[in-house]
Structure 1
C-alpha cells in the first residue's frame, strides 16, 4: 500500500515538475508561434503564407535553450538567418539528379560542421539542416525562392519577438526553475549518500546513481552560471540576482562537501557495526538535510510559506552527542567521526545560509559577489575560424559525423526515389534528427524513434477509426505538437510518439487518405532509423575509445591543477582565491564529461568496448581522487590549520608528479619513470602526521581544544594524502596496461 502511495506521490511530483519546467513553457510558446500564423492565413485566405511563416518560427525555435538572454537572442537570429539562406538555396535544388545529389551532400556536410562550435551552435546547425530537408517538401511550391525565404525570416523574427515577450513577462522563470532543480538534485545526492552509509545496500548501484546525479548537477550548474552571471552583467546590480547567485554558490559548495564524505567505507562499516545508533543518527541527519532541501525547492518562489523545521538541528545534536560523548581517547575512529561531524555541520550551515538569504535579510548584511569576479566562472566558447581548420580531418568526431550525415542523406534520398516513397524527405528528416556523432546515442535514438513512431501510428489509427471530426484533428495536432516539443529532452520515445500523432492529424486535415499517411510515416521512419544506425556502424565510426584519451587527459590535468591550488592554499592560508574556485569547477566539469563518455561507451557493440573494465577502473580512480581532493580542501578551508610542513609539500609534490606522468602516458610522450615507491615515504607520513603526536603537560591539564584540532588535522591530512598518493601511483600503472 505504501509503495503504491509513494509511486503516486512521485508521479504527481514529476507531473508538477514537468508543467513548471522551461521545456513545457517553451513548447507552449512554440504552439502559439505555429498556430497564430496559420489561423490568420485561414482567416485572410492566404494559408500558404501562414504556413511558411509557421515554418520560419519552427526553424528558429531549436536554439531557444536556457542561458543568458543575449546568447539566446543571438542564437535565434543566427538560426533564422541560416534558415533563410538555406531555404533560398533549397528553392533552386529542383535540378537534375546528377547535380542534386552532390550539392545535397556538400550542403549537409557544411551545415552540420557548424556544430564544431558547441551545443548552441549544433542547434543552429540543426535549424539549417531542417530548412534544407523541408525545401524538398511540397510546401509553398507556388512561391518564388526569395519570397519563401523572406517569409521564413518573418516567421523567425515572430518567434524571437514571442521569446522576448516571454522573457519580459516571466524574467525570473528560468532562474527559479533551474535553481529549484539544483536544490532537488542536491537533495537526491545527499539522500544517496545516506543510503551508501548502510553496508547491506547495493553500493555499486548506488555509486552509479551518485555519478549520474553528479553529472546532471554539473550540467545544470553550468546553465545556472550562464543565466545568473550574464543576467547580472547585462542588467547591473540586482538584489534578486545577487541573492540567487549566493544561493547557487552554497549549492556548489554543498556538492563538494557531499563528495568529501569518507570514501573508505570499510572503516565506517567496522565502526558503525559496533555502534549502530551512530549509523542511524548520521544517516538520519543526511536524510533530514535532503528533505529540507526538497521543501526549500518547493517554496523557492514563495519563501514566506517556508516553515521552520527543527529536524536537522535535532539530528545534528544527536551526532554531536555520539561523537563527543566517547571516552575512547584520541583513536582513529573518534578522529574520523569528529571530522565527519564537522563536514555535516558545514552542510547544515549552507542550508541555514540558503534559508537566511530567502528570508529577505537587510541588504547591508548580504556579501554580494562582484560581477567582474563572477565572469571568470563562465565557460567561454572559442569561435575562432582556426577551430574549423584544426578539426577539418578524420581525427575530429564532428568532421566524421558531418561526412557520415552527408553520405547517408544522399543514400536516403536515393532509396526514397528508387522505391517511390510518398515523401522521400521524411527519410532525410529522420536521419538528421536521429544521427548523432557517436554510435551509442544514434542507436538509442533509432530505437526510441522507431518504437515511438509505431506507438503513435497505432494511436492515430485508433483515433481516426473513432472519429472523423476535423476540429478534433486540429486540436489534437496542436496539442500533440506542444507535448512532443516539451518531451524532446526528457523522453525522446514519448516525443516521437506525439510528433507522429501531430504529423498524422495535420495530414488528416489536408488529405482524406490518412491511413496511407500513417503507413508511409512508419515506413519512412524505419528506413531512416536503419540507415542512421548503419551509417554510424560502417562509415568512419567514432568509437568512444578513440576520443577517450583526450577526455582522460583533461580530467587528470584538471585534478592536478585543483590539487596544486589546494597545496597553495594550505601553504599560504588567507582567503580562498578565484583561481581555486575556477580550478574546482573545471575538475568537476571534466569528471562529469568522463562519466558521460564512459556511459556512451557502454552503449556501443561489445566488440568495440575495448578494455572497458580498465576504463571503468580509471574512471572510478579519477572520481575517488576528486572526492579525496574535495575532502582535503573542505577541511583546510573551513578549519584553522597548522603551517604546511616540508614533508607535506614533499608528498604533495610526489602526487603532482604522478599525475604529470599519467598525462604524459595519455599524450603518448616518452617518459622516464624515476619516482621511488610510496613505501619509502612512510617515514615522512609518520614524522609529520603519525600517531606520535603527544600533548604537552599544559595541554593535558587544559584538555586543549587546539591540540584536538591538531590531531584532527593530522588524521585527515594523513588519510587523504595516503589515498591521493596511492591512487596517483595506480592511475599511471593502469593507463600503461590499457590500449586505446
Structure 2
C-alpha cells in the first residue's frame, strides 16, 4: 500500500463514508421525526426498518436509473414481504411455512449477481424484523403502510440527494479508483526489489489487481453514466474534467500493466545493477503522486505540487549507457530492448501522471488531442439483465444458487426450532424471560452470515462474532458510565453512520458499530435494562453456530467452479489477442488509406479496450475463486499448483498482449518470425498444435517485440499444459459434486 496517504484519511474522504452518511441519515430521519415530534416510537421504528430495506440497494456506482429501479423494487417487494409475514405470524403453522419459503425465494435472487443478492437480503431483513413483534390481522395493514412510507421517503430522499450531489459522488468514486491504481503501481514496484520474495509480490499484486478492477468498474459506471455534451455549462465542464481524469487513469494503467516481464530472469541477469532500484524508486514516487492526486480529487482540491522522478529517470539512463558500453545490446539484445522499453514506459507514465494533475487544475483543457466524450463509451458500463429464464434455469440441484437457497431455508427453519425451544424451556424463561421473544435475532444472524461460498460464510462468521463481542463490551461500558440521553443519541447516530460506511471496508468494525447501534436502540426502548446485551450475544453465537453448521449442507465448493472460470479466462485472453490483431489491421488500413485515426480504427480500438476490460474482470473472478478455495478445508481443494500457475501465466499473457499490440499497430507489416509467434500464441490458446518460430527478428524496432512475444508463447504453452492437467478430474467428477476430492 502507498504510505503517503493514511488509510483513515482515505476512508473519511471516500464514497464509502459519504454513502454511509447518506444512508444513515435517510434511515434515521423517519424514526427521529415520528418519535421526536409525535411520540410514535413504535411507528418510527417500523418506518426506519422500511427505509433501511430500501437503503440496502442504495449502493455507489452504476447508472442512476439502475439504482432507482433497484430501490423501487426493494420498496415494492419489501412491502409485500411485510404484509405476507405479518399475516402469517398470527397463524402458528403458516409462519413455519412462510419463513423458509421466503428465505429460499429471495436467496435465489443471487442468480442476478450483486444487486440481486442485495435485493434478496433487503427483503429477508424486513421479513425478519417484522417477526420482532407479533401482529394481529388488524395491525398488519397499518404496519405495512408505515413501512412502505418509510421506504418511499428514503427513495425520494436518495433521488434528491443524488441529483444534488452527483459531482461529489463521481469525485469520490474516481478517488477510490485512483487510490487502487496507486496501490497497484506500488505493488508493481516490489518486483524490482531483489530482496523481496517474488511469490509474495505476485500474491499481493493479484489481490490489488482484483480490488482495482472493482474500483475501476465502479468509477466507470459513475463517470460514464452521463457524458459531457460539449456545452459551456458548469455541469458539462465538471463532467468533462472527470472524464479526462478517468481516461488518463486508464491510460496510466495500460502503461503500468504493459511493463510486465520475467522478473526472475531479470533479477538473475542484473543481480547487482542499480537499474532495477531506480525503476523501483520511480514507480514508488509515481504511486505517491497518484495517491496524492486521489486525495485531492476527493477533497475537491487542485494538484500542483508533485514528487519529481527526473532524478531516477536520469540515473536509469546513465545505467543503460553503462550497459551499452559493456556491450549488452550485442550480447543480449532482448534484455537491453526490454530495459529501454521499461525506461520509455516510465517516461510515459510520468507524462500521464503530470497530465492528470494538470487536468485537476484545468478541468476543461483546450488541447485538441484530448479524448472526447463518445457514445461508444456507454458500452463500458455494467449491464444488469433481469430475465425470468435465468432464475428458472437454476432451479436444479447442480446449481450453486439453488444449493445456497436450500441451505438458507434450512438454516432459517432450524433457527425457528431453536428459538421455539428456548421459548418453551422453563430454565431459560426463569433466568431471562426476554430470551423467549428474541428468536428473530437468531434468524437475522444466520441471514447476515450465510453466503453462497463456504469460505465466505466461515470468514463472515468469524468477523461477525468478533464484532458482536466487541460491540457488546463497548455498550456495557457506555451503559455503566450513565451518560445523558442526548449523548447516547449522538453515539447512536455516529454508530449508524460508521456501521453503514464500513460494511464494504472492514466488516468486523461494521459489526461492532451495528451491534452498538442496535443495543442503544433497545436502551432507549427499555431504559435501565442491560440484559439485552447478553441476549444479543447469546443469539449471535447460536446464529453463528447454525450458519456454519448449515454451510455443510449441499455445499458449493470453489473447486467446482474454477474449471469453468479458467476456461472463461482463457477465452477472454484469446478474444483479447484477436481483438488486438484486428485493431492492428485497422490501423494499418487507415494509414494506407491516408486516414489515420479514422472511424474504423477508432471502432476497432474501442472493441479491443472492451476485450481488455473483460480480461481484467475474468481474471479477477478466477483469482477471487482461487483464493476462496484456499480458505476452504484442505481436503476440499484440488490442483492448487495448476490453478496457481494458470493465474500467474494468464496475468503475464494479458500484460504482454497489452504491450505488443500498440507497437504492432505502428508497423506497416511484421516479419515472418513475429507473425509466426502471434499465430503460435493463438493456436496454443485454442488448444491446437503450435509451431513457435525458431527465430524472432530483433533488428531495429523489432527488438522491443522479441521479448514480450517469447513470453506470450511461453505463457500460452504453460496455460495449455495446465489446462490439460485439469481434464481428467473434470471428466471424472460430476459438476456440483459435494463429495470428497
In the other structure, the counterpart of 1:292 is 289
CA apart distance, 1:429? 0.6
Provide closer, same or farther for how the CA distance between residues 30 and 651 of structure 1 changes in structure 2, counting only shifts above 3 A.
closer
1:206 corresponds to which residue? 201
Deviation at 1:445, TM superposition (A): 0.8
1:599-638 to structure 2, matched below 5 A, reads: 599-637=627-665
Specify the alignment match of 2:356 in structure 1: 354
Q: Distance in 2 between matches of 1:530 and 1:462?
A: 27
2:8 pairs with one of 11, 15, 34: 15
Q: 1:163 to 1:611 in 2, by over 3 A?
A: same
Give the CA deviation at 1:720.
3.4
Aligned to 2:265: 267
Q: Out of 266, 278, 281, which is 1:281 matched to?
A: 278
| In 2: Cα distance, 1:94 partner to 1:301 partner | 48
Stretch moving more, 453-462 or 328-337: 328-337
Q: Which residue of 2 aligns with 1:84?
A: 79
Q: Specify the SS of the correspondent of 1:617.
A: helix
What TM-score comes out, normalization by structure 2 length? 0.88
Q: Does the 8 Å contact 2:107/2:117 carry over to 1?
A: yes
2:717 match: 726
Select which of 172, 183, 200 maps to 2:178: 183
Residue 711, structure 1, aligned to residue 703, structure 2: yes
* Equivalent pair of 1:303/1:359 in contact (CA under 8 Å): no
Residues 678, 709 of structure 2: 8 Å contact kept: no
Matches within 5 A, 1:121-140: 121-138=116-133
Correspondence for 2:489 among 454, 474, 477: 474
Measured against aligned partners, the alpha-carbon deviations of 1:307-355 in whole angstroms (never above 9, x if no partner) come to 2546223322332343356232444232221122222222223223323
The aligned counterpart of 1:417 is: 420
CA shift in 2, pair 1:233/1:138, >3 Å: farther
Residue in 2 aligned with 1:558?
A: 572
- Answer yes or no: is the 8 Å Cα contact 2:673–2:697 preserved in 1: no
Unaligned runs of 5+ in 1: 1-5, 662-672, 694-707
Alignment partner, residue 342 of structure 1: 344
Which of residues 388, 391, 403 is equivalent to 2:406?
403
Aligned to 1:659: 685
Residues 90, 135 of structure 1: 8 Å contact kept:
yes
Q: Distance in 2 between matches of 1:143 and 1:471?
A: 36
Q: 1:544 & 1:643 partners in 2: Cα distance?
A: 45
Change (3 A) 1:55 1:235: farther
State the 1:78 CA deviation: 1.1
Is the Cα contact below 8 Å between 2:103 and 2:124 reproduced in 1?
A: yes
Find the partner of 2:555 among 530, 537, 541. 541
* Alpha-carbon distance in structure 2 between the residues aligned to 1:510 and 1:118: 38
Contact 2:229 2:236 in 1 (8 A): no
Could you tell me which of 11, 24, 27 is aligned with 1:34? Answer: 27
Using a 3 Å threshold, how does the CA distance of structure 1 residues 646 and 392 change in structure 2: closer, same or farther? farther
**Are positions 1:57 and 2:51 aligned together?**
yes
Contact 2:674 2:709 in 1 (8 A): no
8 Å CA contact retained: 2:34, 2:40 = yes
1:150 and 1:110 mapped to 2: Cα distance? 23
**1:545–1:610: 8 Å Cα contact kept in structure 2?**
yes
In structure 2, distance between residues paired with 1:629 and 1:203: 22
Say if 1:567 and 1:652, in contact at 8 Å, map to a contact too: no
CA distance in 1, matches of 2:137, 2:64: 37
Contact 1:260–1:634 (CA under 8 A) maintained in structure 2: no
Post-superposition Cα deviations, 1:56-96, rounded to whole Å, max 9, x if no partner, equal 11111101101222111111111111111100111101244
Distance, in Å, in 2 between the alignment partners of 1:34 and 1:266 is 54
Distance, in Å, in 2 between the alignment partners of 1:407 and 1:721 is: 49
Cα distance per residue 1:491-533 (max 9 Å; x no partner): 1111111222122221122224633211110111011111111
Q: How many pairs are equivalent?
A: 694
* Contact residue 281 and residue 318 of structure 1 kept, 8 A: yes
Q: 1:606 to 1:568 in 2, by over 3 A?
A: same
**Per-residue deviation at 1:52?**
2.0
Name 1:668's counterpart in structure 2: none
**Deviation for aligned residue 1:433:** 0.8
Question: Measured at CA, do residues 730 and 254 of structure 1 come closer, stay the same or move farther in structure 2, by a change above 3 Å?
Answer: farther
Task: Kindly state the Cα deviation for residue 484 of structure 1 after the two structures are TM-superposed.
Answer: 1.4
How far residue 465 of structure 1 moved from its aligned partner, in angstroms, is: 2.0
What is the match of residue 310 of structure 2? 313
Q: In structure 2, what is the Cα distance between the partners aligned to 1:207 and 1:104? A: 46
Partner of 2:169: 174
Is the contact between residue 473 and residue 506 of structure 1 (CA under 8 Å) also seen in structure 2? no
| Structure 1 residues 37 and 378: CA distance shift in structure 2, 3 A | closer
Change (3 A) 1:729 1:482: closer
Shift, 1:392, TM fit: 1.3
Task: Write the deviation string for residues 366-396 of structure 1: whole angstroms up to 9, x where unpaired.
Answer: 6343442101112322222211121111222
* 8 Å Cα contact 2:30-2:48 kept in structure 1: yes
Q: Is the 8 A contact 1:250 1:350 kept in 2?
A: yes
1:500 aligns to 2:515 (yes or no): yes
Instruction: Report the CA distance shift for 1:310/1:129 in structure 2 as closer, same or farther (over 3 A).
Output: closer
The answer on whether the counterparts of 2:59 and 2:67 sit within 8 Å (CA) in structure 1 is yes
Range 142-151 or range 415-424, more displaced? 142-151
Tell me, what secondary structure is at the counterpart of 2:398?
Answer: coil
Contact 1:59 1:79 in 2 (8 A): yes
1:231 corresponds in structure 2 to: 226
CA separation in 2, counterparts of 1:127 and 1:712? 54
Give how far 1:535 is off: 0.8
* SS across alignment from 1:118: helix
Query: Are residues 87 and 373 of structure 1, via their aligned partners in 2, closer, same or farther at CA, if it must alter by over 3 Å?
Result: same
| Partner of residue 379, structure 1 | 382
In structure 2, C-alpha distance between the alignment counterparts of 1:534 and 1:606, rounded to whole Å: 18
Aligned to 1:664: none
Q: CA RMSD in A?
A: 2.6
Instruction: Say which of 501, 510, 518 aligns to 1:486.
Output: 501
Q: Distance in 2 between matches of 1:413 and 1:631?
A: 58
TM-score computed with the length of structure 1 as normaliser: 0.88
What does the per-residue CA deviation read over 1:453-496, in whole Å, with 9 as the maximum and x for residues that have no partner? Answer: 11111222222222164444333323222221211111111111
Separation in structure 1 between the aligned mates of residue 313 and residue 394 of structure 2, nearest angstrom = 54
- Cα distance, 1:132 vs structure 2: 0.9
Structure 2 unpaired stretches of 5+: 424-434, 589-600, 734-741
Cα distance between partner residues in 1 of 2:344 and 2:633: 46
CA distance, structure 1, for counterparts of residue 655 and residue 586 of structure 2: 23
Aligned equivalents of 1:738, 1:235: Cα separation in 2:
57
Give yes or no for contact 2:90–2:134 (8 Å, CA) kept in 1: no
Match of 1:594 in 2: 622
Q: Which residue of 2 aligns with 1:568?
A: 582
SS across alignment from 2:252: helix
The residue matched to 2:166 in structure 1 has which SS?
A: coil
CA distance in 1, matches of 2:136, 2:490: 26
Q: Which residue number in structure 1 is paired with residue 457 of structure 2?
A: 442
Deviation at 1:113, TM superposition (A): 1.4
Residues 175-220 of structure 1, C-alpha deviations (whole Å, 9 max, x = no match): 1112122222222222222221122112211211111110011001
3-state SS in 2 of match to 1:400: helix
Q: For residues 339 and 25 of structure 1, do their structure 2 counterparts lie closer, same or farther at Cα, with a shift above 3 Å needed?
A: closer
Tell me the CA shift for residue 634 of structure 1. Answer: 4.6
Per the alignment, residue 454 of structure 1 pairs with: 469
